[in-house]
A = this chain, B = another copy of it.
Amino acid sequence: MTQSPHTAANLPADTTIPSGSVGIVSPEFISFDEPLHLVSGKVLPRYELAVETYGTLNADRSNAVLVCHALNASHHVAGMSADNPKDVGWWDNMVGPGKALDTDRFFVIGVNNIGSCFGSTGPASINPDTGKPWGAAFPMLTVQDWVHAQARLADYLGIKKFAAVMGGSLGGMQALGWSIICPDRVGHCIVIASTPRLSAQNIGFNEVARRAIITDPDFHGGDYYAHNKVPRRGLSLARMVGHITYLSDDDMATKFGRTQRAPAEGGDFHYGYDVEFEVESYLRYQGEKFSTYFDANTYLLITRALDYFDPARHHDGNLARALSHVNAGFLLVSFTTDWRFPPERSREIVEALLENKLPVTYAEIDAPHGHDAFLLDDRRYHAVVQGYYDQIARELGLPERAKTTGVLAA
């Protein structure tokens, strides 16, 4: 199961593949027919995973890296979708030939979480028992469940141990979860802009988003598919409030400030509730766009899984004890202006790892972009990640990186 750049027949004639891109990619859909027993006590009778891979799995299957996604992303981590080459993977600046996670050396796997809405089994999928969409009957999932579902993917691919499991935000929680649940299958764990548990404020914002969706009359108790409706108002509000928490105050000041959008004569306000400021226009647009492609039940489910994540919970709140049997090496990265999962939260993980005498590299990147910084192209940040992968590659005896490539080359 390898995938290399190819040109599909249906691509526009003028499609060019930028250097450093993994090229044109398509997902595979892999079915798992054994029931998945969930943390909630419920059972998912079977599931399908949407998967993309980049690079080549080496002979001893030691160079695989699993990339876990955050709330609204998918298996499409890098490259250009065969269906639509403009649809570039969400972490394309991180993953590709010569990039921080170098697909010339590593075999990279992107997988859509179950419960999501981008191809893996989720609330909008058909419930085999009823022949109709799962809707409200889809079982609640947790980070642990995602790890279990993904462990079967690793089995399917014949990967006993990942060179690394990596993710940002919720993806970072999954990477941390992997290192705890499958300590012998994770060589390294790369946790970016993440947290060992949500704060009351984090849960509060999630709850506002969920109430917006659930109280939208078009939600129909989660079974809106049957009513041919989408709770777009609620989903749009959820996205707007989420979006504010992904950006820093300073970043919003720089991007939008108090700039007016289409002011009245003489630069005056319109004195009404239509858009007056650029920031309103931006948030409305983000909310509306999101509500056209994201599934409301998935939003509920994933925010709830975020709320539940707390590895220290069954260890009297002691994170070090929760990590006591972990074997991986760790890289943690946080961003100074991330007020959703601020550096303090990453430092809590660092301290718990150090208490267990585990090898830890920690970088706190001074970046103005808030939580979203983990998705952005920042040379210092990418250089840290690349340096860490160089070290993994040396450990595993993988071929040297080409001297002319790399984040700091050029």
Contacts and interface: CB of A to CB of B under 8 A. Distances in A.
A207 B237 contact: no
Contacts of A287: 211
Interface stretch (A68-76, A276-284, A398-406): A276-284
B208 A258 contact: no
Interface in A266-322: 269, 271-273, 276-280, 283-284, 287, 300, 304, 307-308, 310
B252 A284 contact: no
Interface in A324-356: 339
Contacts of A256: 200
Total copies of the chain: 2
* List of 7 A-B pairs having minimum Cβ-Cβ separation, nearest first: A40-B271, A200-B252, A140-B271, A200-B256, A215-B233, A200-B279, A207-B280
Given A204-B283, A272-B140, A300-B273, A249 B199 contact: yes
B211 A257 contact: no
A197 interface: yes
B258 A237 contact: no
A199 to B, nearest CB: 6
Contacts of A40: 269, 271
A323 interface: no
Nearest to A249: B201
Main secondary structure, interface of A, reads helix
B199 A253 contact: yes
Contact of A237 (B199, B208, B304): B208
Interface residues of A, number: 54
A233 to B, nearest CB: 4
Given A200-B258, A258-B203, A300-B273, A244 B208 contact: yes
Contacts of A394: none
A380 B400 CA distance: 63
A240 B271 contact: no
A198 interface: yes
Nearest to A274: B214
22 contacts: A40-B269, A139-B271, A140-B271, A140-B272, A197-B258, A199-B249, A199-B252, A200-B253, A200-B278, A201-B247, A201-B253, A203-B279, A204-B240, A204-B283, A207-B277, A211-B237, A211-B240, A211-B284, A212-B237, A215-B237, A241-B241, A339-B339
